[in-house]
Chains A and B, each alone.
Chain A
Amino acid sequence: MDTEVIRVEGARKRYGDKDALDGLDLAVGRGTVHGLLGPNGAGKTTTVRILATLLRHDAGLVRVAGHDVRTGAREVRRRIGLLGQHAALDEELGGRQNLEMFGRLHHLGARRAGVRADELLERFGLTGTGRKPVRRYSGGMRRRLDLAASLITEPEVLFLDEPTTGLDPRGRAEVWESVRSLVGGGTTVLLTTQYLEEADQLADRISVVDRGRVVADGTADELKARVGADRIDVVVRDARRLDEAAGLLPAARAEVSVDADRRLLSAPVTDRMASLAATVGALGSAGIDAEDIALRRPTLDEVFLHLTADGTAREKEVAA
């Protein structure tokens, strides 16, 4: 049996003179959750739209559920569900009307479409919404209905494009819970996100995307190991003693980054508590006054700076 549900080799897509995808490769195994992690404009949405047959790629191989998205679009559409960034619902109709319509368009037949609509409303806590039009739904309700609409036929592959962007923490937790229960049922999920935490929570494997390419690939733990561990940040009160303080941190001097304007030192640490104690002790005996000392996880920015080959160039670009 085919264990690979999504296969992308060297996919390219150009908009005008900008490469949205610049030779993207991707392989997703059956029944797994795969995260596409990257900043805005990295090519995540373009990738999902190509995989979901909404957009045509210029070059490369793209196969979903055993079919080429160009030549077998209809076969692909039979097997996928899509939750895009914006609700793909008829805003004028009610929740049940929407689900029933999508069921009919999936050729379930009138009766089964109705039964399926009721099942999904129940499952996503939307029973009793009646004829209220979707445009009057809250953001969380809309997202749940949108997810329900993506699951009409229990798709083999489900695409989730930034499924929790714009949701409050409770809405986010609800979506995460739904995704987990789906995977229990054998659905393959491809999820895009800007949040490291989200990829960490949900994905078995993560591909980091930057400027239309995959720049790193692996489990969350593998990627974190590559980024380096947690960091310790120290804000030194006296700017003149910044360099001296940098030499005292429990890390190789080359690994300590110095931000003179903010009087901020930052260094990777291996053992959180021991490093904190060592830093406090070393600064104390040298008589250097610290305004603030904090341990923190690497931020998404740092992940990208580490994983993109020309991270420094990018940093300058962002600063400019």
Chain B
Amino acid sequence: MSAAYVVSDCWTMTRRELAHWARQPVQVLVGLVFPVMMLLMFGHLVGGGRAVDGDYVDYLVPGMLALTMVFGLEGTMTAVTQDLNKGVIDRFRAMPMTDGAVLVGRAAADMLQSVVGLLLMTGVGYAIGWRANGGPEAFLGALGLLLLLRFAMLWIGIFLALVAGRAELVQAVQILVWPFGFLSNAFASPASMPDWLGAVVEWNPLSATATAVRELFGNPGGAPGHVTAAVVWPLVLLAVFFPLAVRTFGRLGR
């Protein structure tokens, strides 16, 4: 199997996902608008009263960006589950194509959607008064950390979908992802929480990324030295779930 085939197979599968978007623009739009809505809700309706030094919107936006990356897991899982339950996956598997190309197509499309989502949310954040003061390199670095977290969540989503394979389990994960998202420093500073809860929150990989991103953006709630954790956490998750996902896909039908 030559490298050229690997690239062309992965590209063909990515094109397939993009063609789905072109067919269902409304669905894509809803996926992009939902996190923006959450940002506006927490910024204007719920927020304000948190124990945060500085402007709450400046604290909230980086947290919401990180939260959106984690919630992306749901979308990935739903898409993979739907695909697995369709007959077309049999045709892919009975063809001489690159083994992981189906998954790579999914990953590429989801990452692309996340890039668009991040740009949209930073734009809306800017409109409601959020400012990044860390300079362009730090800004890009922060986006890189967020996408790294998304990439790790993506492979967890693929793996869970391959293992569960059923719509009911997707729902269970959709519910579980909320406490995971909220038991973080995305909305509120751990300093405002009981000690035990604060400790749990500090250990959440989502918190590590949020803190590092706040630092890079020059927003309140940032602390130096968290960039390492924000790199290591996703890499550890990737090291576990990427091979598991690829292996599980290869073993379908055994």
Bound complex: CA of A94 vs CA of B95, how far in Å? 20
Residue pair A82, B88 in contact (C-beta under 8 Å): no
Evaluate contact between A86 and B87: CB separation under 8 angstroms. yes
Question: Do A77 and B94 contact each other (CB < 8 Å), given the known contacts A87-B87, A89-B88, A91-B86?
Answer: yes
Interface residues of B (CB under 8 A from A): 1, 5, 8-9, 12, 15-16, 19-20, 23-24, 86-97, 101, 253-254
Check if B253 sits within 8 Å of A89, measured CB to CB: no
13 additional A-B pairs beyond A54-B93, A78-B96, A88-B90, beta carbons within 8 Å, are: A53-B93, A55-B253, A56-B253, A56-B254, A88-B87, A88-B91, A89-B91, A90-B16, A90-B88, A97-B19, A104-B8, A106-B96, A106-B97
Residues of B contacting A87 in the complex (Cβ-Cβ under 8 angstroms): 87
Q: Given A88-B88, A104-B12, do A133 and B94 touch, yes or no (CB 8 Å)?
A: no
Query: Which of A49, A56, A102 meets B95, CB within 8 Å?
Result: A102
* Docked-complex contact B96 and A77, CB < 8 angstroms: yes
Question: In the assembled complex, how far is the CB of residue B58 from the closest CB belonging to chain A, in whole angstroms?
Answer: 41
- Cβ-neighbour of A107 out of B8, B87, B253 (below 8 A): B8
Chain B nearest CB: distance from A160 CB in Å?
A: 13
Chain A residues numbered 56-102 whose CB sits less than 8 Å from any CB in chain B: 56, 74, 77-78, 80, 82, 84, 86-93, 97, 101-102
When chains A and B are docked, how far (Å) is the Cα of A49 from the Cα of B88? 14
With a cutoff of 8 Å between Cβ atoms, the chain A residues found around residue B16 in the complex are 90, 93, 101
Tell me the complex Cα distance, A53–B97, Å.
13
Residues on the B chain within 8 Å of A52, using CB: 94
What residues of A have a CB within 8 angstroms of the CB of B87 in the complex? 84, 86-89
Indicate the size class of the contact surface on chain A: 20 to 34
Please give, as numbers and ranges, the residues of chain A lying within 8 Å of B8 by CB-CB distance: 104, 107
For residue A51, which residue of chain B has the nearest CB?
Answer: B94
Kindly provide the distance from the CB of A194 to the nearest chain B CB, expressed in whole angstroms. 19
A105 CB within 8 Å of chain B:
yes
Quick one: closest A residue to B89, CB to CB?
A: A88
Taking A56-B253, A77-B96, A107-B8 as contacts, is the C-beta distance between A102 and B91 under 8 angstroms? Answer: yes
Asked if A232 lies at the interface with its beta carbon under 8 angstroms from chain B, I say no
CA distance A102 to B220 in the complex (A): 51
A105 touches B97 (CB 8 A): yes
Neighbouring A residues of B86 by C-beta, 8 Å: 90-91
Q: Are A80 and B94 in contact (CB under 8 A)?
A: yes
With an 8 A cutoff between CB atoms, is A149 at the interface? Answer: yes
- Determine the chain B residues whose CB is within 8 A of the CB of A77 once the complex forms: 94-96
Closest to A54 in B: B253
Complex CA–CA separation, A88 to B5 (angstroms): 22
Q: How far is B97's CA from A102's CA once the two chains are assembled, in angstroms? A: 10
Partner among A56, A82, A86 whose Cβ is within 8 Å of the Cβ of B94: A82
List 4 tightest A-B contacts by C-beta distance, closest first.
A88-B91, A86-B87, A88-B87, A77-B96
Q: A105-B9, A105-B12, A107-B5 are in contact. Are A93 and B94 (CB under 8 A)?
A: no
A78 surroundings in chain B (CB, below 8 A):
96
Within the complex, the shortest CB–CB distance from B249 to chain A, in Å, comes to 13
Shortest Cβ distance from A98 into B: residue? B88
B73 to chain A minimum Cβ distance, whole angstroms, is 22
30 A-B pairs with CB atoms under 8 Å apart are A53-B94, A54-B90, A54-B93, A54-B94, A54-B253, A55-B254, A56-B253, A78-B96, A82-B90, A86-B87, A87-B87, A88-B88, A89-B91, A90-B86, A91-B86, A92-B19, A92-B20, A92-B24, A93-B16, A93-B19, A93-B20, A101-B16, A102-B91, A102-B95, A104-B8, A105-B12, A105-B92, A105-B95, A133-B23, A149-B91
Indicate if the CB atoms of A74 and B20 lie closer than 8 Å. Answer: no
Complex alpha-carbon distance, A187 and B183, angstroms: 60
Q: List residues of chain A with CB within 8 A of the CB of B20.
A: 92-93
A192 to B136, CA, bound (A): 63
Nearest chain A residue, comparing its CB with the CB of B12: A104
- Taking CB atoms, residues of chain B closer than 8 Å to A92 are 19-20, 23-24
